[in-house]
Copies of this chain bind each other. A is one copy, B any other.
Amino acid sequence: MSFTYEFPRPSVTIDAVVFGVNQELELELLLIKRRDDPFKDCWALPGGFVNVADTVPQGESLEAAAYRELREETGIKVDYLEQLYTFGEPGRDPRGRIISVAYFALVRSKDHTAIGGDDAKEAAWMSFKALPKLAFDHHKIISMALERLRSKIRYQPIGLNLLPEKFTISQLRKLYEAILGYKINHGNFRRQILPKNRPNFIKPVRTLREKSNRTGPPAQIYFFDKLLYENAVAKGFDFKLNCRKISQ
């Protein structure tokens, strides 16, 4: 079967930049190994062609395509994908004119096992600090995604989706340090994230402290009260975290 149009048309694909955090609070990235040319056997972002049609219902939405490709190529289902940017430079794909809409997501990597499928020979969580060479312009896409992630954690409590349900403040801080790429003063971070005179959504689990398999006193365990947070947001509250500056 073939499809004929009066004017040339591009192909449209999606790419998914899925950040994960492992149990050591390190940043990871979900990648696949390509089964086919071009860039056969090269690591790349999961992604693929958007299903479209000119007749109603005109195929799937861009977002739906992103969820589908992610599931097909890596077996992973995420709750939320956010549109990042559209990459459409001529020459970015040797097969022809391909325009790609990039999406990004954040998950706990241990909750999402990566299983290669479909066009992906393999799928895996890779340490963000040691990424392999990637296909196409995927390095560019990833660096834009990291930039977005860094600015997002300052005004949305997305970091809290990445930790286990219960966590210590140190763990949360380590996550922020992993994303931002620098050390944060622990005392000040604490006060910022547990404000006394503003709405606070990080609540201590009264009876629980960290079972201390390390030096130092056992840390208080906290949880993120999502309901409280969402109510406050509805009332006009906006989360903000200042962790701009480094301190030794």
Contacts and interface: CB of A to CB of B under 8 A. Distances in A.
A3 B2 contact: no
Contacts of A216: none
A218 interface: no
Nearest to A53: B8
A61 to B, nearest CB: 5
Interface residues on chain A, size class: 35 or more
Contact of A10 (B6, B50, B83): B50
A90 interface: yes
Contact of A97 (B10, B54, B95, B97): B54
Given A3-B4, A97-B53, A58 B9 contact: no
12 contacts: A2-B6, A3-B8, A8-B52, A8-B59, A9-B11, A9-B52, A54-B95, A56-B90, A57-B91, A58-B97, A62-B89, A62-B99
Given A8-B54, A62-B88, 9 more contacts: A2-B4, A4-B5, A8-B53, A9-B9, A9-B12, A56-B90, A56-B91, A59-B90, A88-B101
Interface of A: 1-12, 49-50, 52-62, 83, 85-86, 88-91, 95-97, 99, 101
